[in-house]
Structure 1
Amino acid sequence: MNTLNIKLTTLFLFLLIRTVNAQINIIPRPMEVSVSDGFFKLNNKTKIIFNQASENNALFLSAILQKGFQKKIKFKEKGNGITLILNPKLENEIGREGYLLSSTTNNIIIQGATNTGLFYGIQSFRQLLPSDFETNNYSNKTVSIPVLEIKDKPRFKWRAFMLDESRHFKGANPVKKLLDQMALLKMNVFHWHLTDDQGWRIEIKKYPNLTNIGSYRKDTQLSRKSPERVGEPHQGFYTQEQIKEIIEYANERHITIIPEIEMPGHATAAIASYPWLGVLGTTTDVSVEFGKMDDSFNVANPKVHTFLKDVLKEVFDLFPSDIVHIGGDEVRFETWENSKEIQDKIKEEGLASPVDLQLFFTNKISKFIEENNHRMMGWNEILGEKIHEWDKDNNMEVKVKLSKTAIIHFWKGSLELVNKAVTNGHQVVNSLHSMTYLDYNYKSIPLSKAYSFDPIPEGLDSKYNEQILGLGCQMWSEWIPTVKQMENQIYPRIAAYAEVGWTQKENKNYDSFIKSLIQLEKRWEQLGINYHKSFK
């Protein structure tokens, strides 16, 4: 065979493989897929083979198959069927979240170094099933699974979705529905924004007014910069028992919940509950308006520090995650400039500015968090940099250095700020607002723009790549009061962010993503999810 024929044959085989692989509609796109001739015939008699170490995954898989086949799936110790293998030796090859999925005409084998890896292998297997499998009757049908081999692992270890429930409370069932879709898409962090100016949503037993008063507001601003109001109150919060139930639900789906308890700003709901917490001394109502409020926790008052530590202790006891997000964004320093108590504290501690005082306070909170075997995370204002236009006339001098153990949640600013964070030893989660905010409309962030996001900023020295933990996409809810509106903002963009976080950069392909998304949207239709129906 001459050189030209060899090249043509190679090209033909490459295109053939690409064409076949395009039929494997898995989101996020796996690292390696090879497809061969033939099919595994899946039916209601197919058995699940597992050992005790992978029992929870076997039960999860059984529940999926039972939905479609409407019959309890049987287990056995060996033989043909769907075999789940926990193989710790695979960790060097595919990491703790990677998996191997192979199918022949006789069996399907899913392997992982950990149960998390096995779980993600099951999620890929789910997407090989018909889109309506889990919602329709397949009791007398056979499902054909192509003979294939998949080797897969994530690009980033932090693949987060954030839900703001302070502004509009959604409740346990919508949260669980979101967790289900996160699991299918291999997202592993649910960032839960539970406190802000417009509502306190988490029960703290030592301070019952936080929910007795702080979870209720009299009305709600109707639109931006408008005096118009909705005309009815808004309220809601989670008891600690309800939160424990949701945490367990997330754990079963290998999702870590990171709670956000805002401090020192975005504190109006807490201050309305206990007015001595504030700087102004005039805050008595939970805010019915959105935006940046003038009041904040009075960090010059030792009683406020005690309050915050008491709150954090209950949060530590409630959430198994070793990370707590403290917010730290959008403090209105004009209020601190005009407060004698705050100014006296700045002088007493030998600080340079209100910004310096915020860093001083943040480090104290970080130290307390670390003493309780946790780690602090906050929006990138905790670095003390000027990122807001309203700060141009404020004294922003900073002497204090932020604790290096703090995780920086980057949402606004330049590459220079990311560089400063990583060169100072910080780990970073990239949630640049212009690329990841789900409350932004589809004109601002179309699906293609969401898909194009890279958590590692262009121009960052590659030696710092490991310090970029991954990404978060944020569902802020000021103007998103209903679950239906929320779903329209989230879907399908959440699938794009899932692929950004998981799929190796060189394997990303927007056209292939769109083809796979068609299958995923059919699944959402079956589940009644109100996804946005335009790719534009």
Structure 2
Amino acid sequence: MPNRIKKELFHLPKHLHEEATRSRLISGVILDTSRRHVSLMFLMRIIDEIQSSGGDYLQLHFSDAEGYRLFSEILGQTLTKKNDQYLVKSEILELIAYANDRDVMIIPDFDVPSHSKGWLKLVKEKFDENFYKSIVSDFDEGLVDYFDNPQATMLVKHLIEEIAFVFKQDKYKGHQIFSIGGDEVPGTNNFQEEYIRFINTISGYVEQCGYKPRMWNDSLTEVGLHALNSNVEIVYWQESMLPPEVFISNNRTLHNSNFYTLVYSPSNDNINTEAITEQINYVKAFHNSSVFCCKDNPYREVNTQDALKGTAYTFWTERGIELTDEQLLAQILPLIKNYLNISQN
């Protein structure tokens, strides 16, 4: 959708805005900044591309095993000077203002209970050993204890509140999204009830903070899906325990981020333009909003009915740590442009 039309939609009354946007799919970019911290200027370049190509949002995956890349008074990351480890508070606020001016929603992505090693390490450094041991899983140091642990749940809530405050975009009031992760969680086959209880508590708190909760699909069983907070939207990356049809039949809001066609890892191997051209051609040939990554076929066409609300292109950066910002952008920006151009047609 052209940016001019997007701006006009934001000034419509709420019921007309929802009616006008219902017919089109939302297109976004999910960027991993935990494994490879990026600068404010880098993120602004990404936002510029999303805006110019008609996209809707940038989701920042700033917390994972390799780091927690945000200012946090709770975790002791309180520098005010720009650094190469995390975004300071003034940078986050500048990022939000920049995105506001360009009609791009910023989605904070605080992945729990798995992928928590980065911030749990900071807890271990700042608090005493006993507190750390009381909230970390006893079988995975990257997993915050989700088994009805009041201390762990309270700390996660405090962090959510801190994140929600600095990322708040008033122009998206009532619509801004907050991703709580929920993916690749050990034990969910056998302990789905405890997992869902944790997710429902956390997603409910996200709503209290004024955001709409979002999570990945892969750790949910059908029993868990039925018990899951009905307001949680699902980003479907690949079939794990449930095919997409189960989410559709349960009237779940779906966003497709196909693990084959809509995931890319920048690296030294792909530093030449031929590799990027090849990736662009691949996405052109195989990406379709209703093509899901399923066990029997990663390119399976699914009748999504009214459940599908959007798609997302995800960039994981663990293979691009040694790349310069310009080398990283040289791979990411053309792929974003290509994906969004396809999505708008």
Q: TM-score range by the shorter chain?
A: 0.7 to 0.9
Contact 1:356–1:399 under 8 Å retained in 2: no
Change (3 A) 1:400 1:155: closer
Change (3 A) 1:156 1:501: farther
Quote the Cα distance in structure 2 between the aligned partners of 1:495 and 1:303. Answer: 44
Contact 1:356–1:398 under 8 Å retained in 2: yes
SS in 2 for 1:177: helix
Quote the Cα distance in structure 1 between the aligned partners of 2:107 and 2:121. Answer: 25
User: Which of 50, 69, 75 pairs up with 1:208?
Assistant: 75
Q: Name 1:500's counterpart in structure 2.
A: 342
Cα-to-partner distance string for 1:395-416 (whole Å, 9 max, x where unaligned): xx85862122111011111896
Q: Name 1:381's counterpart in structure 2.
A: 218
Quote the Cα distance in structure 2 between the aligned partners of 1:411 and 1:182. Answer: 21
Aligned-partner residue type, residue 353 of structure 1: N
Matched, 1:299 2:146: yes
Matched, 1:455 2:322: no
TM-score by structure 1 length?
0.51
- Aligned residue pair count: 300
Quote the Cα distance in structure 2 between the aligned partners of 1:193 and 1:187. Answer: 18
Change (3 A) 1:182 1:115: farther
User: Which of 151, 176, 186 pairs up with 1:332?
Assistant: 186
Cα-to-partner distance string for 1:79-107 (whole Å, 9 max, x where unaligned): xxxxx9xxxxxxxxxxx639xxxxxxxxx
Quote the Cα distance in structure 2 between the aligned partners of 1:311 and 1:468. Answer: 30
Alignment of 1:44-443 (within 5 A): 97=6, 112=8, 156-205=24-73, 207-209=74-76, 211=77, 235-275=84-124, 276=132, 277-280=135-138, 295-300=142-147, 301-319=149-167, 320=169, 322-333=176-187, 353-384=190-221, 401-413=227-239, 417-439=243-265, 442=275
SS in 2 for 1:469: strand
Alignment gaps of 5+ in structure 1: 1-27, 31-56, 58-83, 85-95, 99-111, 117-152, 214-233, 282-292, 337-351, 386-396, 504-536
Q: CA deviation at 1:445?
A: 6.9
SS in 2 for 1:477: coil
Alignment gaps of 5+ in structure 2: 13-20, 125-131, 292-299
Q: CA deviation at 1:175?
A: 0.8
Task: Decide which structure has the larger Cα Rg and report it.
Answer: 1
Range with greater deviation from structure 2 (472-481 or 235-244):
235-244
Contact 2:136–2:143 under 8 Å retained in 1: yes
Contact 1:155–1:501 under 8 Å retained in 2: no
Change (3 A) 1:400 1:274: farther
Q: Name 2:318's counterpart in structure 1.
A: 478
Identity of aligned residues (%): 20
Aligned-partner residue type, residue 218 of structure 2: E
Contact 1:192–1:258 under 8 Å retained in 2: yes
Change (3 A) 1:497 1:473: same
Aligned-partner residue type, residue 258 of structure 1: I
TM-score by structure 2 length?
0.77
Q: CA deviation at 1:162?
A: 1.5
Q: CA deviation at 1:358?
A: 1.5
Aligned-partner residue type, residue 312 of structure 1: I
Q: CA deviation at 1:240?
A: 2.1
The CA RMSD over aligned residues, in Å, is 3.2
Aligned-partner residue type, residue 478 of structure 1: E
Q: CA deviation at 1:173?
A: 0.8
Change (3 A) 1:168 1:254: same
Q: CA deviation at 1:500?
A: 2.6
SS in 2 for 1:273: helix
Change (3 A) 1:426 1:113: closer
Change (3 A) 1:413 1:113: closer
